[in-house]
Structure 1
């Protein structure tokens, strides 16, 4: 069976929450994520997914903006692929699909953040041609 890459209709955004919870070790409750995602889909956000048949196995949020230093860009966010599907080239296929999709929307650059301790993602992004340009800082209010 093949994989399907597509943009999720915003009315189905709740389907990704269990995968995003796995990415964050379920530290953020379903109701909190649901509220946040319902706000996000009404901003410059889209959600790309990977399906195997009807089964959702991967997710990647896409934030669109224009930055003074890179032009129109997209920021992949909360990238997650179910563990049993990793290490088989699926992430590479997914990102190829994402690059083609966002190029079609006029994006000139892709930039992202990844957790400092997520070493497998660092290797993946280096292999995808990403370079480290700075640090991401966060202050909770």
Structure 2
């Protein structure tokens, strides 16, 4: 599927495409994950991707021609309190493509995947210090409904 989107600041029209990233090419997402986790070694990201790519996890990519400009990993699962849901995992837009419609297209596609899989909810976590992400999710009608607690072993 191809969608025309006006890109700022030069307002040229880009051909953005979306597709699920195949597990054999999953390492193309590493530069965007490094953008999200600058203090996490690339080798750690790679080894964790190697593990999760074989689980119930997938990754949607947004491409500008052949360049990957946005990703959203996701899990499909079922919980007692809400039934079937899609969990957004690592929603990242290349810094150079922020405020250009890439995030909106990524969100639209995630919602379509949730609908196709009969999910009743779309859920995610964001770090307490990531105010930009919190603003983004609130702007897209996501509600804060709880706390995510972690006990490190």
TM over 0.5: yes
| TM-score normalised over the length of structure 1 | 0.93
**After the TM superposition, which parts of structure 1 deviate over 6 Å for at least 4 consecutive aligned residues?**
none
How many aligned positions are there? 140
Gapped regions of structure 2 (runs ≥ 5): 1-13
| Cα distance between partner residues in 1 of 2:45 and 2:136 | 26
Larger Rg computed on CA atoms: 2
State the partner residue of 1:7.
20
1:120 to 118, 132, 148: 132
| Cα distance between partner residues in 2 of 1:140 and 1:22 | 24
1:39-65 Cα distance to aligned partner (Å, 9 max, x none): 111111000111101101111110111
State the partner residue of 1:111.
123
Is 1:35 aligned with 2:47? yes
Q: What do you get for the CA RMSD once the two structures are aligned?
A: 1.1
State the partner residue of 2:76.
64
Displacement of 1:34 after TM fit? 1.2
| Cα distance between partner residues in 1 of 2:151 and 2:64 | 38
SS in 2 for 1:2: strand
Q: How does 1:10-25 map to 2 (within 5 A)?
A: 10-25=23-38
Gapped regions of structure 1 (runs ≥ 5): none
| Cα distance between partner residues in 2 of 1:139 and 1:17 | 27
The answer to which of 87-96 and 15-24 deviates more is 87-96
Displacement of 1:29 after TM fit? 1.5
More strand by share: 2
| Cα distance between partner residues in 1 of 2:152 and 2:26 | 25
